[in-house]
Chains A and B, each alone.
Chain A
Amino acid sequence: MPDVTKTDVKTGAADPVGATPPVTATASTPEKARSLWGDAWADLRRSWIFLVSSVLILVLLLITFFPGWFTSEDPILGDLAKHYLQKPRLSDVGSADWLGYDQQGRSVFARVIYGARASIAVGFGTTVVVTVLGGLVGMIAGYFGGLVDSILSRLTDIFFGIPFLLGTMVILNSFQERTTWVVIGALGFFGWTQVARVMRGAVITTKQADYVQAAKALGASTPRIMFRHILPNTLAPVIVVATISLGVYISAEATLSFLGLGLSGVSWGNDISDGGNSIRVAQWIMLYPSIMLSITVLAFIMLGEAVRNALDPKMR
């Protein structure tokens, strides 16, 4: 949007209908006048939930991008001589294969490390797709109202009415090779409804605000009103939903893999599913990917929780 930025530069700080939230409420105490985001950030830094979850997520991202830093073993190449070999002794902790080997003689530790990539990619990818798609639908429905709103809201109801897991299963079942993009597409196809509903509600309350009316009166174009004036003030609830659902999508991907309809390749869900078959002889094959998966989901849900507490003024 090059012209949008141009007009912005022209009007500059004098723009009476700037994109920042109205500060009338805090104007009486100028030394504490912070925006919602400034308040939220101050809140977040003091929250232990936020600190724990961000450290966990940081480590996960390192594992995702640099798996070679954590293990030197190959996650795919198996040595059948080592099949079901367990290393239960304490002295093995820290060695390259301390989590033992699976039914194909592959190092469980290497698979746990390399499996992170699938979960993180699907989680982030789906969240981006869902937020953009749902945000657009919600914005258009909420802003225009009337017939457009009725049609888009019914459409949202329709996609929401189909059980999430069943819908994605039907799509994924028709693909032989299920790449990350296919899984992201299937999850996104049914996942956008929640963001759309949250966005629509936020837009409907925001569009009645005085600064939006002022922008309209000054002759701002519809996209400018939508994206410069309304969007910044509807982001908070959308960000909360997006952060929490990131964990939910990672969990959903693993569930699909467990049903045999998830990603092809190395992923925690596939390993848990395979390990489940030998649960009576070798619990560790299933145990470690399960622990990693649960910690990952927990980290993102905790982050969402912390962000919600920080952004929701009612929780103060």
Chain B
Amino acid sequence: MGRYVARRLLQMIPVFFGTTLLIFLMVYALPGDPVRGLFGDKGGSPQVIAALRHEYGLDQNIFLQYYHYMKGILLHADFGTQIASGRPVTDVLGDAFPVTLRLASLAFVIEVVLGIVLGIVAGMRAGKLADNAVLLVSLLLISVPVFVLGFILKVVFAFELNWLPPNVNDSTNYNELLMPAIVLAAASLAYVTRLTRTSVAENLRADYIRTAIAKGLPKSRVVGVHLMRNSLIPVITYLGTDIGALMGGAVVTEGLFNIQGIGGTIYESIVRREGTTLVGLVTILVLVYLLANLLVDLLYAVLDPRIRYA
């Protein structure tokens, strides 16, 4: 087990450096300049621009820049400076990250609980009315784009019914975060439901389920232990990759509901060509994604004793 974790961690290293280098190259290789963006249409004097570019290290070779940036992150946890505001990127991250984390976790809870329950209900009654109803709802949730769903919920629940506030003012208030979290979770919820349904319907025909029923176990134990443990493996694989996607997908949701999280910061830094901020944010997202995947692989062994890591 320990050796397996070590090997996986080692495999993560090239992916980590590859992803950060790719995003770094993309930000700097494409046209546009964050320093020029600081000045208006009139533009700054060439000397001032050159001095600023030197200060931020933008005049160096791009691979050298990447090397210095990575050294800063790895040795001093220094993610650089946001050029537009002059604040350290770690400060910006510290403000935005908890907000997105709260939003994403709420969405994750909704997705897991509702998705698995609906999936079990549909899978146990495969081909019946409940199954078709769940299929229809999940297809709808997948098809309606996030921002359309957000607008619809806003019009119905905020403007017409006045049940929930249209925008989030206080991101620690879970009542206010409820609607954005539902919007963020919707598509993933549908995928979790479908995956659970397929897996449950398939495993229901398995021999070990028949054995469990035949030896007189109560239904709650057959479903809750025997069926669940075997059916949840594909679902957990999906959930692992989805944690990162939820945080990245927050760009749209946060924009819709005016939440000051990572999504808003990412959007701003892309439009302003703020390489350092963007790379810092993406680095964090990539780390979350890689660690979630590792966690999922380790969970397999817990759920299914047949899977053993040497």
Give me the interface of A with B, judged by CB distance under 8 Å: 154-155, 157-159, 161-167, 169-171, 173-174, 247, 251, 254-255, 258-259, 272-273, 276, 279-280, 283, 286, 290, 293-295, 297-298, 301-302, 305, 314
**A290 contact set on B, CB distance < 8 A:** 144-145, 148, 151-152
A173 to B282 CA separation, bound complex (whole angstroms): 16
Residues in B whose Cβ lies below 8 Å from that of A272: 147-148, 151
Asked whether, in the complex, the Cβ of B32 is within 8 Å of the Cβ of A174, the reply is yes
Cross-chain contact of A158 among B22, B31, B144, B152 (Cβ < 8 A): B22
Q: Are B273 and A279 in contact (CB under 8 A)?
A: no
Tally of chain B residues near chain A (CB < 8 A): 45
| Cα–Cα, bound, A164→B241 (Å) | 12
Question: In the complex, A305 Cα to B138 Cα: how many Å?
Answer: 12
Closest residue of A by beta carbon distance from B12: A157
Contact, CB under 8 Å: B15 / A154? yes
B161 to chain A, nearest CB (A): 15
Could you list 27 examples of A-B contacts with CB < 8 Å? A161-B286, A161-B289, A163-B245, A163-B247, A163-B282, A164-B248, A165-B251, A166-B248, A166-B282, A166-B285, A167-B26, A169-B267, A174-B32, A251-B143, A254-B147, A255-B145, A255-B146, A255-B252, A258-B252, A259-B267, A272-B147, A273-B147, A276-B147, A280-B159, A295-B143, A301-B143, A314-B202
Q: Which residues of B contact A169 (CB under 8 A)?
A: 251, 267, 270
- Residues on the A chain within 8 Å of B147, using CB: 254-255, 258, 272-273, 276
Contacts of A302 in B (CB 8 A): 139
Q: Tell me if B270 and A170 are in contact (CB < 8 A).
A: yes
Residues of A within 8 A of B267 (CB): 169, 259
**A254 touching B145 by the CB < 8 A rule?**
yes
> A305–B139 contact, CB under 8 A?
yes
Knowing A251-B145, A294-B148, the reply to whether A166 touches B266 (Cβ < 8 A) is yes
Are A166 and B251 in contact, CB atoms less than 8 angstroms apart?
A: yes
Interface centre among A154, A158, A259, A273 (most CB of B within 10 A): A158
Neighbouring B residues of A164 by C-beta, 8 Å = 245, 248
In contact, A167 and B23 (Cβ under 8 angstroms): yes
Residues from chain B with Cβ under 8 Å of A259 in the complex? 251-252, 255, 267
The distance in angstroms between the C-alpha atoms of A169 and B282, with both chains bound, is: 13
8 tightest CB-CB pairs across the interface, nearest first?
A: A163-B248, A174-B30, A158-B18, A298-B143, A297-B143, A161-B19, A290-B148, A157-B15
B295 adjacent to chain A (CB < 8 Å)? no
Residue in chain A with minimal CB distance to B198: A315
A253 to chain B, nearest CB (A): 10
Given the interface pairs A163-B248, A294-B145, the reply to whether A276 lies near B26 with Cβ below 8 Å is no
Q: Answer whether A159 and B22 are a contact pair too, CB < 8 Å, given A276-B151, A290-B148.
A: yes
Q: Does B218 make an interface contact (CB < 8 A)? A: no
Task: State whether the Cβ of B197 lies closer than 8 Å to any Cβ in chain A.
Answer: no
Contact A165-B30, Cβ < 8 Å, known A154-B18, A254-B145, A293-B145: no
Within the complex, what minimum Cβ distance (angstroms) separates B270 from chain A? Answer: 5
Least CB distance from B7 to A in Å reads 13
Closest chain-B Cβ to A52's Cβ sits at a distance in Å of: 11
Does B244 interact with chain A (Cβ within 8 Å)?
yes
Chain A residue at minimum C-beta to C-beta distance from B201: A315
Closest to B272 in A: A173
Q: With an 8 A cutoff between CB atoms, is B290 at the interface?
A: yes
- Give chain A nearest CB distance to B281 CB in angstroms: 9
Q: Is the CB of B271 within 8 A of A173?
A: yes
Is there an interface contact between B286 and A162, defined as CB atoms closer than 8 Å?
A: yes
Least distance between B204 CB and chain A CB atoms (Å): 13
0/1 string, B131-156, CB within 8 A of A gives 1: 00000000110111111100110110
Interface residues of B in 24-43 (CB under 8 A from A): 26-27, 30-32
Asked whether A279 and B251 contact (CB < 8 A) given A293-B145, A301-B139, the answer is no
Residues of A within 8 Å of B70, CB to CB, are none
A163 pairs with B249, CB closer than 8 A: yes
B2 within 8 A of A: no
A298, B140: Cβ atoms closer than 8 Å: yes
Q: Given A171-B30, A173-B270, A173-B273, does the pair A301, B23 have CB atoms closer than 8 Å? A: no
Residues of B within 8 A of A166 (CB): 248, 251, 266, 270, 282, 285
B224 on interface, CB distance cutoff 8 Å: no
**B31 and A174 contact, CB distance less than 8 A:** yes
